[in-house]
Amino acid sequence: MILTADTIKTSERVEIMELDPCETGQRLAEMGFWPGKLIELLVSAPWGDPMAFQIDNTIIALRKDEAKLIRVRAFTSAA
Amino acid sequence: MADENRTRLIALSGVPNVGKSTLFNQLTGLNQKVGNYPGITVDKKMGTMPSPDGHQVKILDLPGTYNLYPRSEDEQIVFRVLCGLEPNLIVDGILAVADMSNLERGLFLVNQLIDLGYPTALVLNMADQASDQGFQINRILLERLLGIPVFITTADKGQGIPELKRFLGENKLSKGKTSLEMQEIFSDALFTKVEALTGEKIPYRALQLLKFRNDPTRLDKNLRSGLNALATEYKFDGIEAQRKETSIRYERVNKILGKCLKTNDSEKVNNTRRLDKIFLNRYLGFGIFMLILFAMFQVIFTWAQGPMEWIDQLFAMMSYETAQHLPAGALTDLLSEGIIPGLGGIVIFVPQIALLFALLAVLEGTGYMARAVFITDRMMRPFGLNGRSVVPLISGFACAIPAIMATRSISNRKDRFITIFVTPFMSCSARLPVYIMLIGLIIPEGEGSFIDNRGLALFGMYLLGIFAALASAWLMKVLMKREPSGSLVIELPRYRMPHLKTVLYTMYEKSKTFVVEAGKVILAVSIVLWVLASYGPGDRIAEAEASVPVPTSQSAEAEESYDLAVNTKRLEASYAGMIGQWMEPAIKPLGYDWKIGIALLTSFAAREVFIATIATLYSIGSEDEDYTTLQERLNEVRNTETGQPFFSPPVVWSLLVFYAFAMQCMSTVAVVYRETKSWRWPLAQTVYMTLVAYFSALAVYQFLS
């Protein structure tokens, strides 16, 4: 099932499927939000916005509006 | 060709949070200069590095960017410099910096930089943390795959710096292996045409120009229309080209990393995640943020006070000595009463600026600053501000000047300008003496009661300032609807110890920038104000002085009251006095007379001057600390028409509200000019604030009286 990153729960890990083709979406791609990568929601600020995601070895905070541009799917570890 | 003897210029480039500034400071030490790029508010940081073998190398610290796409002002600068569009900044080579534990993203930029065709070298920084986290890199293999020299450093501990300096002195940067063949993106035919049009022989630079021809990179108009014609002719799709480029580069970077990077599977950023559990906690986080701010505020208030008093005394002494030792005359007066106090009025801000920027550099250096933005972003949004506006706004409680200088970190133009526009509403420390003096006039000291009424009134004034700032921000947001709001994509860097040298350089650099750049305007305005207050048309001043009866007794007391009376008469007869009388009809509805008009005029230099002017006008020495003499004397002043006390509650409240809202600070005007690079903003701001102040004071006076 395809979700967007703004809907995931804290500590949930998901896999990026694709990014919205708009300019901000492309910008996120260039910052490391690349299809196939895993992201984890570390914490969201009061009122649930912005949200801090861990991607690789970096923590990047996005507003909900930007997180919406990232389409993800639930990740189940093979192990 | 490049002159062999010319000092080479190396550009330092990398993504944000890789320790680039620390590296720059390590390489150049104090041999750095901050300038401006034409037409843009990004600081141009240049430094000279003496290499061990006696060569000098110039180093340009480019702003940190994630890629070479010119969207924000920071990115535009990197784009313009590296595509050869800044004729005064011809770069001879690039030193790319990447965080060793975040190589994928870092190498993406490096990959682009190499394709620009400059001789390049790569620094893998923060090696200590990377090895703690189990990263192992095969440096030799990486050098071979990229085709450029690779260095490993831990800049904040100085590790690897001497080797790097020696290398830069020897000029052994090399052009790397082109990663992206341009045929993958655009055709030879198109490239030949673009080359002919732009004169750009390096394919990737030509592609960049073509791709971003319509972005705000200030390309020449003819060039832009030429490029647009070519793009149409060849059906060139910039967005598609960019997506393709991004995808190809990712693939190649990962291929390289797969060969030379080893990492164990241990959890990364563990400590940071643990600390964030506390600092970003939904409930605790905000309290911690407030505590940190409160501590900062306390430090600025208390630590700056001493040095500010010394500066004040030093300049007072210099004025006095000048007047004593130089022959009396207009020139000496200009020096001792105009220029020296004017300079003093500039230098007095330095302790606050230095302290605020030291604290901000510590917050930045530890990685907390990004967290503060994170926590506060949501609640600032309804007002057209974002999380990055919070720290400047709150710094405005100490002083609007460093606060406005701190808005540099707001990358979105609209958000930044709104923040600059509303920051002077925050009740700065210069308003405090005015508030205390005025409140003391109308509210008796509370005795034994739990809440001090004076304190309550003071608190109310602070709330009023916050309210005005937020309301104005909201208004600006509505007015500037057409400009796009920024998105917030911000990296929360790993927590680190701040680097002391970087903190010190920040203090030094910000203070210097203020003194040199804003200082000119402040000095000019203070001289004008001094002339207005000391000279009058024809013999008016001399006549006014003569009108005071010379004391018959020779006692010190009589002399002093004679001097005070002469000063009063002189000020009344000066141009400032005339302007005060001329504007009396305008300020009468606010409850003010022409004497207050004079004080409003002179206190445009700085708010606290209001007290000194009032003291002069009512022939009172203003030395005593808690203003009791001044207040007693002012309470005796009668309204000439009604015979009632002149400084009645309606008049005083009206004045309080006026000082809460009016600009009344030429240093702020000067700094806004410097930060926005145009007179439009500071003028609009001054007019707006003065109008708000005028009508609010009018309403208050009319309502209360």
- Per-residue pLDDT of B626-660, as tens digits, reads 667 778 888 888 887 777 888 899 999 999 999 99
Section B351-376 average pLDDT? 89
Residues of B in contact with A31 (CB under 8 A): 66, 105, 489
3-state SS of B95-124 is EEEEECCCHHHHHHHHHHHHHCCCEEEEEE
Quote the mean pLDDT of chain A.
Answer: 86
User: The pTM is what?
Assistant: 0.80
pLDDT at B624 over 80: no
Query: Does residue B395 contact residue B450 with C-beta atoms inside 8 Å?
Result: no
The two beta strands, B174-175 and B32-36, are: unpaired
Residues of B in contact with A47 (CB under 8 A): 378-379
CA distance B412 to chain A (A): 14
Residues of A in contact with B276 (CB under 8 A): 42-43, 52, 59
Interchain contact A31–B (C-beta under 8 A): yes
CA distance A57 to chain B (A): 6
Q: How confident is the model at residue B568 (pLDDT cuts 50, 70, 90)?
A: confident
Rg (CA), chain A: 11
Three-class secondary structure of residue B612 per DSSP:
helix
Query: What's the longest Cα–Cα distance across chain A?
Result: 36
Looking at residue B95, what is its pLDDT? 95
Looking at residue B626, what is its pLDDT? 60
- Nearest Cα residue in chain B from A51: B374
Amino acid present at B21: S
Helices assigned H by DSSP within B443-588:
453-479, 500-513, 519-534, 540-546, 556-573, 575-582, 584-587
Interchain contact B490–A (C-beta under 8 A): yes
Q: How confident is the model at residue B45 (pLDDT cuts 50, 70, 90)?
A: confident
Residue B9 phi/psi, 5-degree rounding, is -115, 120
Looking at residue B594, what is its pLDDT? 86
Interchain contact A56–B (C-beta under 8 A): yes
Section A48-69 average pLDDT? 90
pLDDT at A77 over 70: no
Q: How confident is the model at residue B587 (pLDDT cuts 50, 70, 90)?
A: very high
CB contact under 8 A, B487 and A52: no
Residues 6+ away with beta carbon under 8 Å from B590: B654, B658, B694, B697, B698, B701
d(CA B411, CA B423) in angstroms, rounded, equals 17
pLDDT at B4 over 50: yes
| Stated length of chain A | 79
Amino acid present at B424: P
Q: How confident is the model at residue B447 (pLDDT cuts 50, 70, 90)?
A: low
Residues of A in contact with B277 (CB under 8 A): 43
Identify the sign of the CA torsion B62, B66, B71, B73.
negative
CA distance B71 to chain A (A): 10
Q: How confident is the model at residue B10 (pLDDT cuts 50, 70, 90)?
A: very high
Check: complex ipTM more than 0.90 = yes
Nearest to A61 among B67, B268, B490 (CB): B490
pLDDT at B44 over 50: yes
Condensed to tens digits (0 to 9), the pLDDT of residues B397-445 reads: 878 988 998 888 787 788 889 999 999 999 888 888 888 889 888 887 6
Residues of A in contact with B67 (CB under 8 A): 30
The two beta strands, A38-44 and A51-55, are: antiparallel
Looking at residue B513, what is its pLDDT? 80
pLDDT at A57 over 70: yes
Q: How confident is the model at residue B588 (pLDDT cuts 50, 70, 90)?
A: very high
Select from B244, B282, B290 the residue whose CB has the most chain A CBs within 10 Å, as the one to mutate to test that interface. B282
Which residue did the predictor score with more confidence, B557 or B393?
A: B393
Select from A11, A27, A41, A43 the residue whose CB has the most chain B CBs within 10 Å, as the one to mutate to test that interface. A43
Residues 6+ away with beta carbon under 8 Å from B98: B14, B15, B18, B106, B107, B109, B110, B122, B123, B124, B125
Interchain contact A7–B (C-beta under 8 A): no
Q: How confident is the model at residue B592 (pLDDT cuts 50, 70, 90)?
A: very high
* Tokens at B677, concatenated: 């690079």
Looking at residue B236, what is its pLDDT? 85
CA distance A74 to chain B (A): 20
Select from A30, A37, A38, A77 the residue whose CB has the most chain B CBs within 10 Å, as the one to mutate to test that interface. A30
Looking at residue B590, what is its pLDDT? 93
Residues of A in contact with B74 (CB under 8 A): none
Percent of chain B residues topping a pLDDT of 70: 95
Looking at residue B1, what is its pLDDT? 40
pLDDT at B36 over 80: no
Looking at residue B433, what is its pLDDT? 81
Section A46-55 average pLDDT? 89
Q: How confident is the model at residue B241 (pLDDT cuts 50, 70, 90)?
A: confident
Condensed to tens digits (0 to 9), the pLDDT of residues B264-310 reads: 766 566 788 889 999 998 889 989 998 998 888 778 778 888 898 89
Interchain contact B242–A (C-beta under 8 A): yes
Which residue did the predictor score with more confidence, B677 or B464?
A: B464
Residues 6+ away with beta carbon under 8 Å from B73: B40, B41, B42, B411, B413
Looking at residue A79, what is its pLDDT? 41
Interchain contact B67–A (C-beta under 8 A): yes
Interchain contact A65–B (C-beta under 8 A): yes
Section B338-359 average pLDDT? 86
Nearest to B492 among A47, A57, A59 (CB): A59
Quote the mean pLDDT of chain B.
Answer: 86
Section B489-513 average pLDDT? 87
